[in-house]
Structure formats: structure tokens, C-alpha cells
């Protein structure tokens, strides 16, 4: 098919308050002529029927091109990018169909970013304002005949006078994308989403029954509430750890007595509680993490997927799913102990949108805890039975950059960290890495 190069006079659905509408046309662009796909404007196409920007690849591998246009910006002002995209014959849209926003100065050069960048690595580096990667909003996009919203809100950095918007198709033989209803408009800064995350450093002792072990956590949950925690994480298999009985003797149905007890405490103190228990489901036993909400009801359950020696050989069955739970705090996932030795568990939770991972963990390598937080840009809340003198797993909260934000070092204490789930973590050379993970992570078979 012959490549069509069109000069476009593309009007947005709304103008820029305080600015004339940009005069630049959308222009078709490719990294090299030999990998250039076909570009076309569909006058009556698009989600709204006004027009669509189309990119179509032939049967060859490796084609790549994008539409681009430049918009004027004011440093310090926030802007909302929105667009809708619809694909045909694109095997992996998360990698092959993407939008980027690039910040530029009057000369079209990249601008530095001197504030808000991680500085505990790459000492002395002056970071650049790296490209922004708007995200697919699939849940909000359902029911629009294949159209998916792509959006994001960004603050123009100091020195930026332009934003170059790019709409890509790459690595999709015989694939096609239509881009529609593109807008880049001033908006208000997103409000903060501050959440207080707590972890309990305690292992129950000398409990005669599973309920005795549960009751030992009551004053610690009360302490977390006194310090205004929104979520508190307890230890793994806490009824088993406290009684010294067998897995089968400590197992219970879920929901059951222990979840009811922690539900009462969660409701009394108006917070979320994560606790590690042993579940009985007919003839099977599972190592589980339970999320109970401030309404006193069970809000989520995760069955441990990765089972070590001492569990599978004693009759524990593995889970097979990675649920993420939508709460008033944000999206919460859970994993348990040995799961942390494998990057796949935390990665799949983050793939499904987890912003916080609660982690009851008997013991683990603390470097892996920091890695799980850093590589997924999530907040990790861990509660362990390890003493700090052993230099093994810690009870604490890790930030999106892998740093330990807070740690409980004494037995019977609680640590609390306040985080803002809307605060982006920016890196030298990477920018907002969390936004890039869906676009750049390797594909897996079965996707």
C-alpha cells in the first residue's frame, strides 16, 4: 500500500483558556523511512464521528510511526491529555499502541527537571524532564465499540514552553490504530491521596487456642489506630505461629472466627487490617492473607501461590490467582512470605493495578523486599517474625523507590508511614517509571 503523507488541520474539541488554538498540524513521523507505516486521516471516522488519525502497518515486522503535534504550555500549569484509540489486528496493544508527551523549550530542546526527582541514586546527575506515558483507562472505556480511553494529568516543568504529543503504532504487522478526540487542556492539579500505612512487629506467644493468638494483636491494632493508620499489616499464619500446633489444627473456614474477630477490631478502629491465617476449604489447606475493612467485613482474600519446603510437603495447597481489591484507600494486593523471593507475584499484582502490597512474611531477604517495591513502584507493607539482630526480613514500609520509609525494630511496636498515592516517583533518565511499566515490560506467552 502506498504511504500517504497528509498535512492535517486538526481541531481539538475545546480551545486553551488564555491561548489561541494551536496552529500546528498533526504530522506523520517515523524513526526511519524504511520502517514507515501508512498514515491516513479518516474525515468521518473516530469515536465521535468527527475525524480519526489512522496508522496502518503492512505485513512486515518492526514498522513504527506516529502522529505528532506541538502545543504551547506554561511551566507550573497542569495539563490533562485525553485521547481514544481503537485497534485492529494488534496482538499486544499495551506495547504497540501508545501516546507520549515530551516537554520542550522554545528551541525544541529537552528541558531539565531539578525538582521532585529521586536523588539517592545517580549522585550529581541533573535529570531531564523525560517523556510522559498516558495510561489506558480500560475499566472506564468499556462499551464504546472497541474504543479505549488513554489519559493522564501532568505538570509542565520549569523551562518548558511546548508539549509535543505523539500517537504511536509500533511492532504490529498488519495492525491498525485509529486515534480520535485528542485533547491537551489546562486543568487543576490532582488532589493528594494521603494514606497512613502501619506494620506490627510482633509474634504471638504461648497461645492455647488460635483465638488466644488473635487477641494478642488487639492492643497493637489499637496503637495503629491511635496513630491514625488507615491500614495495618499483621504477621503470617499468626494462629499457627502463636500456638505451635499443626497447620490442620489451626485451620478454619474463611470467613470464620478469626476474620470475625479482626473484623470487629477493624470496625471499632475504622481501619483496614491484613492478617495471615490458615484456611480450610473441604480437604484442602491454604496459607492465606485476609483483608478486613472498616465496615467489619472481609474485603479480600489471597491464597499463597509460592510454597516452600515445610508447607507443600506438609499438605498445604497453592493458590492460583493474584486478586487486587479496590478500596477507599486505593488498590490493595497481598502476598505472603516466600512469594517475595519471586518477582512474578508482585509484578502480577502491579499489572492488575495494585498501589499497595500488604505482606505478612515470616522471613525473607530484605533486599528482595526493596526490589519488589522498586521494580513495581508500589508501597510495600511488611510484618515479620524476624528480630532485627538477624539482619533478615524487616517489619516496615518500603517506598516506590525501594527505600525503607519506616521500620519497627522492637518487639511489640508499630511503625507508621504516611504516603501520597498520587505523588509520582521520578527517576533520572526514566522519569515516571511506573507509567512506563505497562508499555515497556516484556510480553509473556498467553497475553
Q: Are 196 and 230 in contact (CB under 8 A)?
A: yes
How far apart CA 82 and CA 137 sit, in angstroms, is 10
233 pLDDT band, cuts 50/70/90, is very high
Does the predicted TM-score (pTM) go above 0.85? yes
Higher pLDDT: 108 or 242? It is: 108
How far apart CA 360 and CA 237 sit, in angstroms, is 8
Residue 9 pLDDT: 32
Residue 330 has pLDDT above 80, yes or no: yes
Q: What strand order describes the sheet that includes 27-29?
A: 27-29, 64-72, 162-170, 97-104
Residue 45 pLDDT: 83
15 pLDDT band, cuts 50/70/90, is very low
Q: Are 91 and 177 in contact (CB under 8 A)?
A: no
pLDDT tens track for 426-436? 999 999 999 99
Q: Which are the catalytic amino acids?
A: 236, 304, 337
Q: What percent of the chain has pLDDT over 90?
A: 85
pLDDT tens track for 16-72? 333 333 324 899 999 999 999 999 998 888 888 888 999 999 999 999 999 999 999
- The greatest distance separating any two alpha carbons of the chain, rounded to the nearest whole angstrom, comes to 79
Amino acid at each position: 500500500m502506498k504511504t500517504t503523507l497528509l498535512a492535517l488541520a486538526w481541531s481539538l474539541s475545546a480551545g486553551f483558556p488564555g491561548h489561541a488554538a494551536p496552529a500546528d498540524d498533526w504530522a506523520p513521523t517515523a524513526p526511519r523511512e524504511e520502517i514507515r507505516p501508512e498514515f491516513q486521516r479518516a474525515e468521518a471516522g473516530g469515536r465521535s464521528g468527527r475525524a480519526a488519525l489512522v496508522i496502518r502497518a503492512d505485513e512486515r515486522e518492526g514498522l513504527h510511526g506516529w502522529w505528532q503535534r506541538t502545543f504551547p504550555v506554561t511551566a507550573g500549569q497542569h495539563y490533562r491529555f485525553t485521547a481514544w484509540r481503537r485497534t485492529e489486528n494488534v496482538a499486544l496493544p499495551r506495547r504497540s499502541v501508545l501516546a507520549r508527551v515530551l516537554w520542550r523549550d522554545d528551541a525544541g530542546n529537552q528541558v531539565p527537571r531539578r525538582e521532585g526527582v529521586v536523588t539517592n541514586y545517580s549522585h550529581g546527575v541533573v535529570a531531564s524532564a523525560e517523556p510522559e506515558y498516558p495510561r489506558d483507562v480500560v475499566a472506564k472505556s468499556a462499551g464504546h465499540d472497541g474504543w479505549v480511553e488513554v489519559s493522564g494529568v501532568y505538570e509542565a516543568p520549569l523551562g518548558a514552553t511546548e508539549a509535543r504529543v505523539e500517537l504511536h503504532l509500533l511492532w504490529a504487522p498488519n495492525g491498525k490504530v485509529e486515534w480520535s478526540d485528542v485533547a491537551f487542556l489546562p486543568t487543576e492539579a490532582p488532589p493528594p491521596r494521603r494514606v497512613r500505612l502501619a506494620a506490627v512487629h510482633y509474634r504471638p506467644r504461648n497461645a492455647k487456642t488460635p483465638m488466644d493468638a488473635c487477641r494478642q494483636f488487639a492492643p497493637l491494632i489499637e496503637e495503629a489506630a491511635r496513630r491514625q493508620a488507615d491500614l495495618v499489616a499483621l504477621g503470617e499464619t499468626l494462629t499457627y505461629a502463636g500456638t505451635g500446633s499443626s497447620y490442620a489444627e489451626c485451620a478454619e473456614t474463611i470467613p470464620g472466627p478469626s476474620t470475625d474477630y479482626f473484623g470487629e477490631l477493624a470496625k471499632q478502629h475504622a481501619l483496614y487490617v491484613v492478617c495471615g491465617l490458615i484456611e480450610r476449604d473441604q480437604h484442602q489447606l491454604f496459607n492465606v492473607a485476609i483483608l478486613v475493612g472498616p465496615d467489619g467485613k472481609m474485603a479480600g482474600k489471597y491464597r499463597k501461590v509460592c510454597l516452600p519446603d515445610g508447607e507443600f510437603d506438609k499438605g498445604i495447597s497453592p493458590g492460583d490467582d493474584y486478586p487486587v481489591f479496590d478500596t477507599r484507600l486505593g488498590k490493595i494486593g497481598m502476598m505472603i512470605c516466600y512469594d517475595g523471593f519471586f518477582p512474578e507475584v508482585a509484578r502480577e499484582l502491579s499489572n492488575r493495578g495494585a498501589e499497595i502490597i500488604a505482606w505478612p512474611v515470616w522471613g525473607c531477604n530484605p533486599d528482595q523486599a526493596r526490589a519488589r517495591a522498586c521494580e513495581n513502584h508500589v508501597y510495600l507493607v511488611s510484618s515479620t517474625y524476624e528480630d532485627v539482630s538477624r539482619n533478615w526480613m524487616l517489619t516496615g514500609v518500603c517506598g516506590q523507590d525501594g527505600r525503607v520509609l519506616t521500620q519497627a525494630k522492637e518487639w511489640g511496636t508499630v511503625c507508621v508511614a504516611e504516603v501520597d498515592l498520587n505523588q509520582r516517583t521520578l527517576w533520572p533518565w526514566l522519569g515516571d517509571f511506573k507509567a512506563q511499566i505497562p508499555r515497556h515490560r516484556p510480553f509473556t506467552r498467553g497475553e
